[in-house]
């Protein structure tokens, strides 16, 4: 088995729990956040398990930021929001709830507050059209 047996993102990588994927390559996965704080909220992770910025290798950190850069551009092209927030939390005191390093890519709209972090789960049918649009912009 690859990854951490109890990590929810490693379980997504192993296909043990479902996810709405945007893009997968040898080293990273981009997928929709199941509890979006804004429509189109997505996540990008390195395939190698590391809990946070303090654990991740320099190489995997570089791989992660390259994938985040690409995903942020695709979200911007696909959804044309007023802005795009990139968020990354380390430790529960900083707001981290899943301990496999990730960047949030969150479309932002003028004068629209974010929905509370990790609160309301939405259906796959809501997430899929966003994933398709972002996927198309990655090509
Ligand atoms: P953190 O609080 O660690 O920065 O963010 C974890 C994110 O993962 C949250 O935004 C939460 O909604 C999301 N998340 C938690 N469990 C799952 C899951 O099973 N699938 C997906 N796609 N996202 C998840
Ligand atoms: Zn993991």
Over the stretch 39-89, which tens digit does the pLDDT of each residue have? Answer: 999 999 999 999 999 999 999 999 999 999 999 999 999 999 999 999 999
Residues, CB within 5 angstroms of ligand 2 (ion): 3-4, 7, 9-10, 49, 100
Is the beta carbon of 99 within 6 A of some atom in ligand 1? no
Cβ atoms of 52 and 96 within 8 Å: the answer is yes
Q: Shortest CA distance to 45 belongs to which of 120, 125, 99?
A: 99
Pocket test for ligand 1, best of 16, 34, 41, 88 (most atoms within 8 A of CB): 34
- Check if 102 is active-site: yes
Nearest ligand by distance to the CA of 1: 2
Determine the 3-state secondary structure of 80 from DSSP.
Answer: coil
What own/partner pairs with CB < 8 Å and gap ≥ 24 does 16-20 have? 18/124, 20/124, 20/127, 20/128, 20/131
- Residues 1-39 pLDDT 10s: 679 999 999 999 999 999 999 999 999 999 999 999 999
Q: Domain 8-138 sits in which CATH superfamily?
A: HIT-like (3.30.428.10)
Q: Is 34 in the pocket of ligand 1 (CB under 6 A)?
A: yes
From the candidates 41, 49, 100, 102, which is the catalytic residue?
102
How does strand 42-46 pair with strand 103-108?
Answer: antiparallel
CA distances (Å), origin 124, targets 33, 49, 54, 71, 127: 10, 25, 32, 20, 5
In this prediction, residue 93 carries a pLDDT of 98
pTM higher than the cut 0.95: yes
- pLDDT by residue (tens digit) across 87-99? 999 999 999 999 9
């Amino acid at each position: 088995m690859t990854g951490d047996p109890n990590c929810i993102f490693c379980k997504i990588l192993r296909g043990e729990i479902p996810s709405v994927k945007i893009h997968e390559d040898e080293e990273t996965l981009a997928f929709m956040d199941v509890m979006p704080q804004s429509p189109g909220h997505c996540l990008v992770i390195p395939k190698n398990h590391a809990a946070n910025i303090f654990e991740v290798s320099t190489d995997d950190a570089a791989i992660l930021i390259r994938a985040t850069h690409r995903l942020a551009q695709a979200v911007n092209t696909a959804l044309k929001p007023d802005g795009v927030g990139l968020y990354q939390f380390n430790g529960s005191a900083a707001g981290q709830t899943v301990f496999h390093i990730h960047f949030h890519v969150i479309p932002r709209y003028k004068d629209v507050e974010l929905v509370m972090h990790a609160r309301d789960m939405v259906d796959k049918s809501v997430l899929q059209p966003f994933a398709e649009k972002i996927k198309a912009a990655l090509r």
